[in-house]
Structure 1
């Protein structure tokens, strides 16, 4: 796991090699947390590649940038190729020789042997850049689900890339600005959906894509190509899903795919452990991992607020597998103390409240291990979120005449409010908001922090961007309509996997862990296992109100019923309560009338009204206020030019 950075000068206006080396070192230095074990740079005739290394495999000879034996190509690589040992043998048979034990050299030789076709053979998480000297071409790629970040910009005669935007901003000949339109999108999504970034000049390479940039064609735009797509669900009438024997066969197939995925992710020359929440996903990884190694170190967070606390379940699984279990108690005070520090270190704002416990758990775990496995993936691919069931319920409710439905909807305003994990009034309000919007927008509307209507109320009239819902949520609509099936629930699953998981969940995990130089691995995002999940008929993932149905059936022989059947709890924090207590001083300062006038974006009276409504308990504005707070912490620390 590492940080990569570099740039190519397209013309005579580029700096000297000495200047390029100086700039490159400054850019790489900004990502030292991604690679504290070493660094390297390679500069030649206007091409500059840099690397920060977190040593995981081949600790002695895997340094980068790496040049192949024939001096034809140079690579910088972030991630892990889990099947590199098998690929090395295949490449040796094809005549390639190796000087190291590293997966980096395997990847470089794979490109030189198979070109872009090498991507279909890779199993791993990665973003990498290869400078092909012979073709004078940049070849870059990102893994299938986007676990590893990749940003790029083409401006002022330079093509530049990095693992984090902060590194790009260190280049003295590149400029960056933020638009109000992307800020409004952040306020809606709580993140910036790909391929946009927070900066107008910077793009994200989408997952499952590679990039070509030919120096001879500069300054033409870069060329992007998709190399993998999520397969469609198979027909439920298929023999694979008919009869009790077929069900047990699918359960065993799933268990074997998980065993293979976990085994691949145990390859490491440094200590590794597991993030254990006590949910079915991380618990499934835990029992699988425990069957393969003599001793497992597990790490979990506990909350002083009972309705958010999963630690008893994590302890139950830890006792089941006999792990060396580490539990860390988190509190409101800890959150308030660390939130400004965490957000200020982000290259892009991210308003996922679980960023805080993930950051703190990563910090504590790094004292014991360098690599940790986690349970990310099943909620999106096996339909674990309540939104999937809500999607079906909404479709049924809309068949009821409005005259009958309307009184029941009106009555939801009298449901009890709470700052606990479950707030029935808040949940009902969000559900009804999604019920009355177009189908393509429904799930995203349930996730939205500040809707078009909410943003109309707070933006200053002379600064407000286009807040039409079709414009604001255009990235969701494009994905929803790109799915090659008319099944609306299937489309919603696709959007979750392609957008929410990549740009929200996986970004959070990457940033929070890499701030402490901790590598996270996700067995459920193994290609074979993910493709198995995608091919499952939706009824084998969501049956009645049971989410992740087949995964739970497959785990019945391995996990106790209390773990399999308990209500799902996300890795969240008591945001509603903390905004009224420990975080109130921070919010009052950053969103005071004086502070808001300084940024000149939002109406101070409208924002104050929202804060007062939340503090009084009249309205639960937890998502909106948390997102606004994160944005203002980020703006204050990065001071971008806003167009």
Structure 2
């Protein structure tokens, strides 16, 4: 696994500032501590950091074709590179290395921009073709690997694996995007293709960007999308058999490495499935790593231990306690943007533990999105059943009234906490689903913002993100539509971002076999009723795994990878929270109603209300403002504490 940075002059061939390029490259040394490389030509500069996994002796980058007219820098793994190598050799191309990187330059020469459709794996790469005066940027289908870019006023296109490298460019504007701020407090992350900064973008998953010299700034183009239109009409037994075969193959090709390899093992269904299939194809015990918590309600370590014993893995466990809050400022340094998924802490810890044992780890990410495992899918199913039976003209006033007058019972058992459900039913399909995925509901976000921030938003609502993908989804089924939206938003924006930054901060490569695009294309053809059956999410996935995993692992209640921040904010971290959220850092932005924030903290710490998600998102935003936006990655010429500026 690696990191890339680059500069491209779109309006001529000005000399590239090699010192700046080197600083950008050095800022992501954690992504590739083994080697670094720079390339400059008139108007073009590439930087690369290498974490050596395959072809340790010869896989250095930047890498060139035979006549050095094409150069590439690359972050990722192309798992079918050996088959592509043989195909390209048969077409007359000569290879100097045994790495997957060299496949890219020859694939470009043979297939042009459609070469990405031939690659099976996770990747981001930048390729410069001097004969065609063309820069080619590409990101893998699911967005496992990241790429930020920005067109600067001078005409320079600057890009990199992480935002921190772009922030070193003195020309880059740090103007906060008010719409991105709204989306962050809606989702807990900034969904692609936005970033927290108005003029910085992420290349969206499954997209390419082709920029030619002296052309206007290019628009990204999508080259892949998941489809749900050909529903597989097989028996349940046949689906189960095929599912294991398809997933086993996806696991097996991700076990190719010239360095130590292991797996994350939480004790949940997905990671246990990956470990089970790894053990079946490995000729030696698999190294597995997991995190434990001191509080039983959050601790899955006994289930991980059960799976480890079943498959004879070398298992390693680390305990996470409230002192891990000290990681908050470090986390912002890894993520560069506000990021409010508190499980980033244990994810970082398990990556740190894994790196002590291995260089590559397989994870179980993606199973919930592919097979409808989240509880919210079940609630969405129930709500859609009600919406289909109650006319909209009656539904909205009825459930609005019930939601308005039903008390907010955060302390009560779940069946009695119906206020949120009533509110969701009063909305349409998009509004209802957004309500189930949002970390701060509409009332909280509205109260959180200052009057000036509300004016800047001009009525913009974060639900427009999931709404757009639900409308664009290539399916008519309500369950598949929200799965599609999650694959475009929550999966790349939260889950994969969390794992990429946490693993790369520890110079660890993480591979995700469940997100193999061929496995996704196959699983998308399974009927929704086989994924969510009654109250059981991931029905067909669990059914297929019954010969491999125990009933306790497959059918216990889902716990997730959360941390007990609600208790922490009332206990050992009480004063830290108050100090952070009453600071001038937040107040000086002009974004927030500071009295409302104080009320949130008081209500939570008194036990009157449960506001841990809102508090955590604010703590992370304050840390971002202080550590990144202010001076954390700023060039020396930038003022050390520039107030946040927003402009619609």
Q: Please, what TM-score do these two structures have when normalized by structure 2?
A: 0.93
Partners of 1:106 and 1:88 in 2: how far apart?
A: 6
Partners of 1:481 and 1:11 in 2: how far apart?
A: 38
Secondary structure, aligned partner of 1:194: coil
Please say if residues 7 and 49 of structure 1, whose CA atoms lie closer than 8 Å, have aligned partners that are also in contact: yes
Q: Quote the residue 1:417 is aligned against.
A: 411
Please say if residues 400 and 422 of structure 2, whose CA atoms lie closer than 8 Å, have aligned partners that are also in contact: no
Partners of 1:323 and 1:427 in 2: how far apart?
A: 42
Partners of 1:533 and 1:519 in 2: how far apart?
A: 25
Q: Quote the residue 2:496 is aligned against.
A: 506
Partners of 2:605 and 2:497 in 1: how far apart?
A: 30
The CA deviation at 1:111 is 1.2
- CA pair 278-428 structure 1, distance change in 2 beyond 3 A: farther
Q: Quote the residue 2:221 is aligned against.
A: 225
- CA pair 466-484 structure 1, distance change in 2 beyond 3 A: farther
Could you tell which deviates more after superposition, 129-138 or 447-456? 447-456
Please say if residues 344 and 633 of structure 1, whose CA atoms lie closer than 8 Å, have aligned partners that are also in contact: no
Q: Quote the residue 1:199 is aligned against.
A: 197
The CA deviation at 1:232 is 1.2
Please say if residues 38 and 45 of structure 2, whose CA atoms lie closer than 8 Å, have aligned partners that are also in contact: yes
1:318 aligns with 2:308: yes
| 1:533-552 pair list within 5 angstroms | 533-552=523-542
Decide which of 554, 567, 573 is 1:564's aligned counterpart: 554
- CA pair 387-468 structure 1, distance change in 2 beyond 3 A: farther
Q: Quote the residue 2:565 is aligned against.
A: 575
Please say if residues 23 and 172 of structure 1, whose CA atoms lie closer than 8 Å, have aligned partners that are also in contact: no
Decide which of 38, 41, 47 is 1:41's aligned counterpart: 38
Partners of 2:190 and 2:355 in 1: how far apart?
A: 28
1:478 aligns with 2:468: yes
Partners of 1:588 and 1:254 in 2: how far apart?
A: 50
Deviations along 1:174-206, one digit per CA (max 9) or x if unpaired, are 333213332122111111111111111111111
Please say if residues 182 and 461 of structure 2, whose CA atoms lie closer than 8 Å, have aligned partners that are also in contact: no
Secondary structure, aligned partner of 1:615: helix
1:16 aligns with 2:8: no
Deviations along 1:147-169, one digit per CA (max 9) or x if unpaired, are 00011111221011110111011
1:55 aligns with 2:55: no
| 1:97-246 pair list within 5 angstroms | 97-155=94-152, 156-217=154-215, 220-235=216-231, 240-241=233-234, 246=235
- CA pair 205-47 structure 1, distance change in 2 beyond 3 A: same
Partners of 1:407 and 1:381 in 2: how far apart?
A: 36
- CA pair 545-408 structure 1, distance change in 2 beyond 3 A: farther
Could you tell which deviates more after superposition, 62-71 or 180-189? 180-189
Q: Quote the residue 1:2 is aligned against.
A: 2
Please say if residues 252 and 554 of structure 1, whose CA atoms lie closer than 8 Å, have aligned partners that are also in contact: yes
Partners of 1:568 and 1:462 in 2: how far apart?
A: 41
Q: Quote the residue 2:641 is aligned against.
A: none
The CA deviation at 1:247 is 1.9
- CA pair 142-269 structure 1, distance change in 2 beyond 3 A: same
The CA RMSD over aligned residues, in Å, is 2.1
The CA deviation at 1:346 is 2.0
Partners of 2:541 and 2:475 in 1: how far apart?
A: 24
Q: Quote the residue 2:428 is aligned against.
A: 438
Please say if residues 367 and 373 of structure 2, whose CA atoms lie closer than 8 Å, have aligned partners that are also in contact: yes
Partners of 1:337 and 1:287 in 2: how far apart?
A: 35
The CA deviation at 1:436 is 2.6
Partners of 1:637 and 1:53 in 2: how far apart?
A: 26
- CA pair 469-582 structure 1, distance change in 2 beyond 3 A: farther
Q: Quote the residue 2:71 is aligned against.
A: 74
The CA deviation at 1:601 is 2.2
The CA deviation at 1:486 is 2.7
Partners of 1:464 and 1:404 in 2: how far apart?
A: 29
Q: Quote the residue 2:62 is aligned against.
A: 65
- CA pair 428-332 structure 1, distance change in 2 beyond 3 A: farther
Partners of 1:379 and 1:284 in 2: how far apart?
A: 13
Partners of 1:458 and 1:151 in 2: how far apart?
A: 29
Partners of 2:69 and 2:424 in 1: how far apart?
A: 54
Partners of 2:357 and 2:259 in 1: how far apart?
A: 10
Could you tell which deviates more after superposition, 131-140 or 397-406? 397-406
| 1:285-304 pair list within 5 angstroms | 285-293=274-282, 294-304=284-294
Decide which of 553, 570, 588 is 2:543's aligned counterpart: 553
The CA deviation at 1:629 is 1.0
- CA pair 535-325 structure 1, distance change in 2 beyond 3 A: same
- CA pair 608-414 structure 1, distance change in 2 beyond 3 A: closer
Please say if residues 141 and 211 of structure 1, whose CA atoms lie closer than 8 Å, have aligned partners that are also in contact: yes
- CA pair 408-473 structure 1, distance change in 2 beyond 3 A: closer
Could you tell which deviates more after superposition, 383-392 or 472-481? 472-481
Please say if residues 123 and 144 of structure 2, whose CA atoms lie closer than 8 Å, have aligned partners that are also in contact: yes
- CA pair 152-542 structure 1, distance change in 2 beyond 3 A: same
- CA pair 632-126 structure 1, distance change in 2 beyond 3 A: same
Partners of 2:321 and 2:403 in 1: how far apart?
A: 36
Partners of 2:417 and 2:96 in 1: how far apart?
A: 58
Decide which of 346, 370, 375 is 2:364's aligned counterpart: 375
Please say if residues 596 and 603 of structure 1, whose CA atoms lie closer than 8 Å, have aligned partners that are also in contact: no
| 1:327-346 pair list within 5 angstroms | 327-334=317-324, 336-346=325-335
Please say if residues 184 and 465 of structure 1, whose CA atoms lie closer than 8 Å, have aligned partners that are also in contact: no
Q: Please, what TM-score do these two structures have when normalized by structure 1?
A: 0.93
Please say if residues 403 and 419 of structure 2, whose CA atoms lie closer than 8 Å, have aligned partners that are also in contact: no
How many residue pairs align between the two structures?
Answer: 626
Secondary structure, aligned partner of 2:125: strand
Q: Quote the residue 2:299 is aligned against.
A: 309
Q: Quote the residue 1:531 is aligned against.
A: 521
Please say if residues 278 and 317 of structure 1, whose CA atoms lie closer than 8 Å, have aligned partners that are also in contact: yes
Decide which of 260, 263, 279 is 1:271's aligned counterpart: 260
Secondary structure, aligned partner of 2:220: strand
